[in-house]
Amino acid sequence: MNRRSVGAFVIAAALAATTLVSAPSSRVAWTLETVRRVRGGDVARGRKLHDDCSGCHGETGNLDIPDVPDLGGQDALYTYKQLADYKEGTRESSIMTEAVKPLSDRDMIDLAAFYAAQTAPRAAGAQTPAGTAATRLASIGDGPRLIPACDACHGDRGAGNPGFYGMPYLKNQKLQDIVVQMRAFRSGERRNDVYRVMRDVSKALSDVEIDALAAYYSGTSPEKK
């Protein structure tokens, strides 16, 4: 390879790297029109579409598999965004990427509406006592480390925050799934968070803190290592 070829290769590699870094975290834009369309999803049609998803997600979107998220009761805007991100490739999963391939935008809207209309999972156990590291991070955050209160975005005890478009509820979600997702954000494996909020917050958290927050929101005890 001559010098000119090497130079062209280096430039091409740099451009590719720049494109990867500057690529949008999601192609979903929360315009008033988008919000209106998603909020107006057809639950009955979504129920029929869910037949193809029930094997992994259960009859109503909630199934007792540790690393599969509960979808029942989840905000429609969040579910729609995740489906759209899988389809666009801004969120990666070998299973979900294949699952969303045949879905139209209308299909994703109606599926999101179906899940939103279902009952959210119930509390799994006792709440984390006030004053613990997890409750402080959730309700106050950590100023010196530039960590905002988790509940500021996700609602009181993670119960949801409809005012923040596309924000999921965390309350009573599965401990293992919360841990997996937070660690994926921390490593950059998952990068469809708008403005890098979850990636930047998770980078500041230790494994112990992530486990504690997962236990706090799921209502269970941290997994024993």
How many percent of the chain have pLDDT more than 70?
A: 84
Q: Count the residues in the chain.
A: 225
* Least confident range of 56-65, 188-197, 215-224: 215-224
- pLDDT tens figures, 143-164: 999 999 999 999 999 999 988 8
The arithmetic mean of pLDDT across residues 2-19, rounded, is 41
Please say if the pLDDT value at position 198 is more than 70. yes
- pLDDT tens figures, 61-82: 999 899 899 999 999 999 999 9
Structure tokens at 81: 């965004």
Name the average pLDDT for the chain: 88
Please say if the pLDDT value at position 48 is more than 90. yes
Structure tokens at 123: 């509390």
What pTM was computed for the model? 0.86
pLDDT value, residue 164: 87
The arithmetic mean of pLDDT across residues 96-123, rounded, is 95
pLDDT value, residue 43: 98
The arithmetic mean of pLDDT across residues 159-174, rounded, is 91
- Measured distance CA(66)–CA(175) in Å, rounded: 7
* Least confident range of 15-24, 141-150, 215-224: 15-24
pLDDT value, residue 152: 95
- Measured distance CA(171)–CA(173) in Å, rounded: 6
pLDDT value, residue 126: 59
* CB neighbourhood size of 32 (10 A): 7
Domains with residue ranges and CATH for the chain: 32-116 (1.10.760.10), 133-218 (1.10.760.10)
How many percent of the chain have pLDDT more than 90?
A: 76
Please say if the pLDDT value at position 167 is more than 70. yes
Structure tokens at 112: 């999101």
Half-sphere exposure of 140 (CA within 13 A, CB side): 11
| Cβ(176)–Cβ(220) below 8 Å | no
pLDDT value, residue 220: 85
Alpha helix stretches (DSSP H) within the chain: 3-22, 32-39, 43-50, 54-57, 76-88, 94-100, 105-116, 133-139, 150-154, 175-187, 197-203, 207-218
pLDDT band at 125 (very low <50, low <70, confident <90, very high): low
**DSSP β-bridge partners for residue 147:** 142
pLDDT value, residue 42: 98
- pLDDT tens figures, 177-197: 999 999 999 999 999 999 999
**DSSP β-bridge partners for residue 136:** none
* CB neighbourhood size of 93 (10 A): 13
Helix axes 105-116, 76-88, angle to 10 degrees: 150
Half-sphere exposure of 83 (CA within 13 A, CB side): 27
pLDDT value, residue 3: 42
